[in-house]
Structure 1
């Protein structure tokens, strides 16, 4: 009888971590958290960007809900990023990431190819990206998310306790929605726009002396009168080769102008403040040496009853202050004059009404209505409709 022994190798109970999966989770998770937070810092601004996309796809019916849609998108990004890092709800998160990146890759490609939206808004106003830059970013993300989706079955929660994971998920959801709602009601934590507190607006409205200008190239279509030969030539080539001296060549049609190098970009290029007759009051208002309350409202016809009450409170507070202090108060709007007349009849506004384009108004204060306090062109403070202080607080903090 043979005494045969069988050797069974020990099985290694610990499997090696999948490096590509972990790198993908960390990269995608952190990027989605960062992207969600930077936009949740200014959901109204992201909402304005969404309105541009709504216009392209003829979905203007969604404009009134753009800020809340922005808050939901930002929250979803943050939630996906956090839960991906924690390894929670792996199938839901993997599918969510995949569908979202496919949608945004299509959107950024469409924007870039057809040149319909100049900036994607992926990272808000903090890091502006062109549509092509954003499309490349989405392609890179698509690769990493593809790895996550294919290997999603390998993702395990960092914490084994279901109670811990459920608690972390709930806290993440509350935080993700809460930060967007908070900044919508009380203004962004960090203001990345040119009208932020401390900025001197007149200096941001003009280029410094000696600043580089935009450089353009003119392309001519030329035709030889004798041979019928046609060719294209830049203005520099045209002048350098003295083609204009040769009577056999003639210019066909209008030259095509192309921007080849951007010059200095003025931070505030589009602010023009005028009265009902179109007279320019921009410098007079912006450079006012006294305290200057500028109440902004893109469109007063969009006021809710709460907005109406907020403007009434602002108006009454400034009216009371004007009795004791030398100050100016302006309502700056892009509304129709008929809507302003109605507002005046209802509230007996002490505010002088002036008009400006909606684009700079949207950048001044992320609130409708909002208030900006200026002195000598410097932004002293900004308030949303929910945070405008009392008369006593304004006197003790600023006017005394």
Structure 2
């Protein structure tokens, strides 16, 4: 039974670590954004610029440890590494849940969103299995008896683990789990179905007795049920507190608002355009790849001249800085503004490009592999005429 338990723990932990590492490595920028939330919580925001690097490293370590555990390579070192890692993760998820500082840990990226308490529970279960592995680490035998084969296996796993994270960082996720993925209909993802449940809130009152000075708290339901409001000795003090007790329906896209420098809303006009239109996303113009912006500018000019294709640029950069940037770099693209969260979700690149038609994401590109005008023309524009 002990051997069965150790082997089960080994396979369960190994597979889960590989899966967790691969899911996050599929979108290292997204995981990096989550790390930045933790950096802010612990007041180490100076690490923001290194978040993506840390994300790639953590994902690779998870994959390597999981694979090494399955292969039985260096069981002593691997068991210690797993124990340190799970203790660290358990602390983070508990802290997030207890103090409500990070609403989603990003353990499985955007593929399987977990609440902080769910993440903490998952880490506690993993902790138990990893302790079993650690206590019985000497019983884990390698799949390959040859030291040379073990070393080669570890090198191959390491190269693949780091290589996958670097590839998705420099291009785009292999599988896009965000609501702006290719094939997504943006207007549909922003709708709330008729009859969908709304958020349920509880109102809490603080009351004080004028005669005795006694204070008590009660909910709005208790306030009405007890009819305490009829007693003139009790009065409400302070402002009522509103507390969310049940989350209602939440659309996949809930925070996208596109506006011009004056604040006029252009969201529907841009995303519901019935014709092909190009959307350049550069959430931070100051850090955007300038050569890519120049290429996109040329692409926009040629597209509008030949096929009247509208191109817009979306950014979070202030209107004044954006105007100065446009003049300096001679950008001829219409510019609009939106919050950074949806822009970072649209495309994991700065800048990135989306091709939309009638609200649907037809395709999207990282600035490292932008399409040529000829490709767009032959694949999309000509077929639209």
Which category of TM-score, normalised to the shorter sequence, fits these structures?
Answer: over 0.9
Shift of 1:338: 4.3
User: How big is each residue's C-alpha offset from its partner over 1:321-348, in whole Å with a ceiling of 9 and x where there is no partner?
Assistant: 2111021101100113344234323432
| Matching residue within 375, 378, 383 for 1:396 | 378
Secondary structure, counterpart of 1:253 in structure 2: strand
Cα deviation 1:19-45 (Å, max 9, x = unaligned): 221111111101100100000110100
1: distance between equivalents of 2:230 and 2:191?
A: 41
Aligned-residue offset at 1:312: 1.3
Structure-2 residue corresponding to 1:75: 60
Q: Which moved more, 1:340-349 or 1:123-132?
A: 340-349
Listed one character per residue, the Cα deviations across residues 166-218 of structure 1 (whole Å, up to 9, x for unaligned) are: 22111101110111111112211111111111111112223111111101111
Shift of 1:255: 2.0
Out of 334, 337, 340, the position equivalent to 1:355 is 337
Matching residue of 1:384 = 366
User: Paired residue for 2:44, among 40, 43, 59?
Assistant: 59
| Higher-Rg member (1/2) | 1
Question: Helix, strand or coil: the match of 1:270?
Answer: coil
CA distance in 2, matches of 1:343, 1:312: 12
Q: 1:101-159 CA distances to partner (integer Å, 9 max, x unpaired)?
A: 11111111111222111110110011111112111211111111111111111111011
Structure with greater helix share of residues: 2
Distance in 1, matches of 2:227 and 2:191, equals 38
Provide closer, same or farther for how the CA distance between residues 248 and 286 of structure 1 changes in structure 2, counting only shifts above 3 A: same
Partners of 2:320 and 2:58 in 1: how far apart?
A: 36
Q: 2: distance between equivalents of 1:84 and 1:196?
A: 34
Report the secondary structure of 1:221's partner residue: strand
Q: Is 2:337 the counterpart of 1:330?
A: no
Matched, 1:205 2:187: no
TM-score for the superposition, normalised by structure 2? 0.95
2 CA distance for matches of 1:49 and 1:334? 19
RMSD: 1.6
Q: Which moved more, 1:308-317 or 1:340-349?
A: 340-349
Any gaps of 5 or more consecutive residues in structure 2?
none
How many residue pairs are counted as aligned between the two chains?
382
The question of 1:21 aligning with 2:6 is answered yes
Corresponding residue of 1:275: 260
Cα distance in 2, alignment partners of residues 360 and 145 from structure 1: 37
Find out whether 1:42 has 2:32 as its counterpart: no
Aligned residue for 2:208, secondary structure, equals strand
Q: 2:109 aligns with which of 116, 124, 135?
A: 124
Counterpart selection for 2:247 from 248, 262, 277: 262
Distance change >3 Å, CA 236–CA 154, structure 1 → 2: same
Matched, 1:161 2:172: no
Counterpart of 1:5? none
CA contact (8 A) 1:290 1:326 kept: no
Asked if 2 retains the 8 angstrom alpha-carbon contact of 1:329 and 1:350, the reply is no
SS in 1 for 2:178: coil
Asked if structure 2 preserves the Cα contact closer than 8 Å seen for 1:287 and 1:375, the reply is: yes
Q: CA deviation at 1:228?
A: 4.4
User: 1 CA distance for matches of 2:326 and 2:248?
Assistant: 44
Offset of residue 281 of structure 1: 1.2
Q: Is 2:288 aligned against 1:315?
A: no
Answer yes or no: is the 8 Å Cα contact 1:24–1:144 preserved in 2: yes
Write the distance in 2 (CA, Å) between the matches of 1:82 and 1:336.
46
Higher mean alpha-carbon deviation, 372-381 vs 339-348, is at 339-348
